[in-house]
Every structure is written in structure tokens, then in C-alpha cells.
Structure 1
Amino acid sequence: MEIKKFFGASFEQSRVIEGDQFLKWMINDVEQPNHEDKPVLIVLLGLGTLYGIYLLPAFAHYLVTGNNKKSLISLPEINLLPNWVAIGEIVIFILFWLLSRFLRRRYNNLFWRHMNVNLLVLFVMLEFNLISLMFFQKEWGIFGVLTIITLLLVTTIVSVKKQLGNLEIIIFETDGNSKITNKNVKYALFIIGLVIILLVLWKIFLSKNIDKFGGIIIIPLMFIILNVMTIMLEVLFEIPYILLNFYKHKYSEEYRIAEGKTPREWYGPKHLKKESLR
């Protein structure tokens, strides 16, 4: 289906998306009614994460230049995480944070805060993935690395298409059955979690001395499973949550009236003050 069809949904159609089970989970998790705001802690955690993002390229450089013959697998020779990657991520985050400050209103303040945190998590995942691929390139070669990347890209594309198809059925009430159900996702996450637990237990109890071949197989397998799980969580939970907040921005007055909020409660005093000065 065409992505732009979602942007053209009416207010009445946009309200239907709130029936999505994954969206309900997101709202309950992010927008907790008794949420206690801790801005100082959030700022400290954010700065600490940015500092960690900046330091990881130094660790990658050490892996390439170091010489540890006792390593489980051969150390990489090509550094896939140069300093400019971390600097670019930090610049992108700062620009995104500034944009979110411009777009924030009281009704979507928690949404933008969540998006900032989610962006930091994705950057950390990206850097760890690049470091992991450095090892895989040494053991599996270019073809093996490209195979892993292709598998993850195909998983992402298929998951996004299925989720959009699922949301199309919900919002526009088109013919067809829901392609992704709550039960299916629970089973998938259960299987992934079980595989990870079994691998960890096998490593601890059944193989005190993992040979090189075991490391070559297990580490990429865990890498793929963790990334597939991350892709599923991002697609199933983030897409409907982002779409709902787009509708709240597009139909802000309609949503305010529907939820019985005053302009001050919905937009916040700062925004109302700016509007009155225009």
C-alpha cells in the first residue's frame, strides 16, 4: 500500500488506531498516569550515553591495533567504526533534540522524550553492530557479512510491510485479516528469548572450553537473534506510536476536544503565551 494513504486519514479514522494492541502497550509504558518527572536524571543519563557513543570508536580502534592471541576469535583488521561515525551520530542527535524542542507541546512532551531516548538506543545498537561485524568479517569474510546484513534488511522490510498492512486493516477497515496478532508476537518473542537463554546456559554449563568453531557459530547467531528481536520491537511498537502522534499533531484541536482538555492542559502555558504574542 502507499505510505501517503496513512497521512490522508481523517480524524475519525485516526482514532481507530488506538485499538492496536501494541500501541496500547506503548501508551501504558511511555505515558504512565503517575509518571514522576526526573529531568536531572534524564539529562545525566543522556549525556552519559552520548559520552559512551563517543568512546566506542576508541574501543574499536584498540581491537584493530591490539594483539591478543588468546582471543576466542581472530581480532579484526578493518575498523568499521571510525571517529567520524560517532561524531555524526552526536550531531544528528543534537539536531533532532533541537527539532523536538520546537515541536513539543504538553500533549506530546513524553512522545518526543521517548523518541530522543529511542534514537540514542539505536545509535548504541548501530555501534555495537559495527564492532560485531568487524569480527564477523575476519571469520566469515565479506560474503558472510553481506549475507547477515541482507538477512536483517529483508527482515526489516518484511516486518514493516506486514505492520503497515495490519494498520491499514485497522484504520481504513479494509478487507483482510490482521497480519500480525498479539499472540503471534508473544510466541515469537518467547521463542527468541528461549533460544538466547539456551545458548547462554549451554555456554556456561555444557562447554567450559568453547572451541574456536563454536564461537564462530554462536556469536553471529546471537547477533542475528538480538537484531531480529530489536527490529520486531521497533516495527511493532514504534510505528503505530509515531503514527498516532502524527495524527494528534495534525488534528490537535479535535483530539483536545475529544479528550476533554482545556487549551492550557493540552498545549501547555508556554505555547499559549507564544501564540498570544503573535
Structure 2
Amino acid sequence: MKKNIFNAKFEDSLNLHDDAIISFALNNFLKEVETEEKMALRGTLKSTIWVIILAIICVFGLNLLPAFLSDLIFRSGSFNDFLVPPATNFMTYKLYYIFAIVWLGVVFLGKLLNQRFILGYRGHFHIFVTDILWFLIEVNLFFITFIFPTLGKLNAILFSALNVFIFILLFYFRYQSIKKCLYGDAEKESKSVRVLGEGLQFLKKYGGFIIFILAFTSFFLRNRTMELSDNITFLSFLVLFLALNSIVAVFEIYLIFPYLLTGYYKLKYPEEYRNWEGKTKTEFYGNSYLKKHKELTENE
């Protein structure tokens, strides 16, 4: 069976804990939420009220902002003085409601995983993955609404390609580093992987720069009548757009993805990890889970 980062054996999966970035996440994220004090609060009325309040403010409130601003600016035409007026608002309240329903659906589905050892991962998945990606999609739709008409079709395609390119590049190199962490030198790269890696190394150095130059040269040649201050403002929007996507991509791919991968392996090898951590079944699974799965305590 060909090795990948999702089918490692238990012994190999332990190597993930040697990765400095994953170790940082485990020590600063997981241990923080798995303290006895915080675990004891789970399911209580006080905890439920706080979760609802924080969700309203930090999840639904923050993610409402792009829809609110997009609708306000689209109707008022605030950017029309130096940007081509958009014909369509891509970040609508209707789309926000759809995202909100999807997020709630993922939260309720997550409750099917109620083992004590996975609760911290589950909460972080809802915060660091579904919530942040929801917000990122909304922000991108906001920028697409107001920036892309001025950028033009070809430049918009090139700029989108630059964003996708950065994501693929980051994911490829992080995937390879995780794979090396899991298997070490035992997993030899195939010729196709080496060629792809060499190609991405070249693109890492020059690809983004080439796309950047093509897009902005084309744009500025096409918009020579724009004021210098307008060009600078527009360029600032583009840099902000690219920077936001890149920062979130680095955060998700280099920190959160491998951190959650350790949770995946705990689900895959629960008893092995319980013994490795030296915990009792009650400490590892929790009383509520053991009551529903009596087969785990039958041999005790």
C-alpha cells in the first residue's frame, strides 16, 4: 500500500509529535482546553450560555460584517469614483444565511464525536477551520465584487491563479514535510514526485513574481488614465487581498492541518493512544461515552 499522511501506522503517527509546529499547537491549544477545570465545565448551563454568547459575537457577528459592508457599499456606490461600478454583489445577506446554516450543521454533526479525547480538537475545528474559512470566503467575495470589475477579466484570472498557486505551493511543501516526519527516509520519493517538487521549487522562486508582473503590467497599461492616487489605492486593495489569503493559508496549512491530523490518528488508534498516554478509559473516553459503549469496559 502506498504511504500517505493518512494511512500511517500507530508507531509512525507518534512521529508527528516531534514536529516543532505540531508540538506548539498541542502544547498551546490542546492542553489549554483539556485542563480538568475546563473539561468539568463542559455541558453545564454556564458553559452553554458562554458558548452561545461567544458564537453570536465572534462567529455570527464577525461573519456578518462582510455581508453588511458589501451591501452598504454596493448600494451607495462609495468606490465608484475610482473603481468600475460592479454589476453584481457576490457577498449578499442570503449567502451569509446559507453559510450560517452550513456552519451550524457542521457543529451538530461534530457532536457525534463525543469521546473526551476529541472534544478539544472538535472545538478547534469549528473555530480554526469552518469559521475562519467561512469568513475568508466572504472576504474574498467582497473583494471580487468591487475589485475584479476594475481589474478586468484577464487580470482577474491571473490574480486568482496567483492565489491558487500560493495555496497549492504551501500545501505541497507542508504535505511533504509531514510525510517525511511520519516515515523519515523509509519513504522514497517517486520520480514523478521529484519532478513535481523541482517544478514547484522553480515556481516558488519565480512563478508568483511572473504572474504578478503580468497582471499588474497589463492593468496599468490598460488604465493609464487613472489618477496616481487611485492606482495606489487600488494596488493597496490587491496587496491586502493577497496578504489576507496568504496569511490564512499559512495558518491553516502549516499549523492547523497537521495539528488536527494528530486528532485523526487518535480516532484511528484510540486504544493505542490511551495506553501511550497512560490514561484510564474514563480519563480518555469520558463517562458519558463509556455508558453508550459498554463494550469498551466489558473486559475490565
Structure 2 unaligned spans of 5+? 42-46, 190-227
Indicate the residue corresponding to 2:119 in structure 1: 109
Q: CA deviation at 1:241?
A: 1.1
Indicate the residue corresponding to 2:290 in structure 1: 272
What SS does the corresponding residue of 1:77 show, helix, strand or coil? Answer: coil
The reply on whether 1:88 has 2:98 as its aligned counterpart is yes
The reply on whether 1:22 has 2:33 as its aligned counterpart is no
1:229–1:69 Cα change, 3 Å: closer
Q: CA deviation at 1:253?
A: 0.4
Indicate the residue corresponding to 1:144 in structure 2: 155
Q: CA deviation at 1:68?
A: 3.3
* Matched residue type, 1:47: I
Identity of aligned residues (%): 20
Q: Distance in 1 between matches of 2:104 and 2:87?
A: 32
- Greater alpha carbon shift after TM alignment, 64-73 vs 13-22: 64-73
Structure 1 unaligned spans of 5+? 178-209
- Greater alpha carbon shift after TM alignment, 259-268 vs 42-51: 42-51
Counting only pairs closer than 5 Å after superposition, residues 21-100 of structure 1 correspond to structure 2 as: 21-33=20-32, 35=35, 37=38, 39=47, 40-48=49-57, 49-54=59-64, 56-68=66-78, 73=83, 75-100=85-110
8 Å CA contact retained: 1:136, 1:144: no
Q: CA deviation at 1:135?
A: 1.8
The reply on whether 1:170 has 2:181 as its aligned counterpart is yes
Q: CA deviation at 1:84?
A: 3.5
Q: Distance in 1 between matches of 2:65 and 2:243?
A: 26
1:34-78, Cα deviation, whole Å (9 max, x unpaired): 856373333312122224434643432222221337866455332
Q: Distance in 1 between matches of 2:118 and 2:79?
A: 52
The reply on whether 1:252 has 2:285 as its aligned counterpart is no
4+ residue segments displaced more than 4 Å: 33-36, 69-75
8 Å CA contact retained: 1:68, 1:75: no
Question: Paired residues, what number?
Answer: 247
Q: Distance in 2 between matches of 1:60 and 1:141?
A: 20
1:6-36, Cα deviation, whole Å (9 max, x unpaired): 2321110011111111101211221235856
8 Å CA contact retained: 1:168, 1:174: no
1:73-107, Cα deviation, whole Å (9 max, x unpaired): 45533211133322221122112111211113111
8 Å CA contact retained: 1:64, 1:77: no
* Matched residue type, 1:154: F
Query: Max radius of gyration: which structure?
Result: 2
Q: Distance in 2 between matches of 1:245 and 1:74?
A: 47
Q: Distance in 2 between matches of 1:81 and 1:51?
A: 15
* Matched residue type, 1:15: L
Q: Distance in 2 between matches of 1:27 and 1:99?
A: 24
Counting only pairs closer than 5 Å after superposition, residues 170-209 of structure 1 correspond to structure 2 as: 170-174=181-185
How does the TM-score come out when normalised to structure 2?
0.74
Indicate the residue corresponding to 2:140 in structure 1: 129
Q: Distance in 1 between matches of 2:93 and 2:62?
A: 12
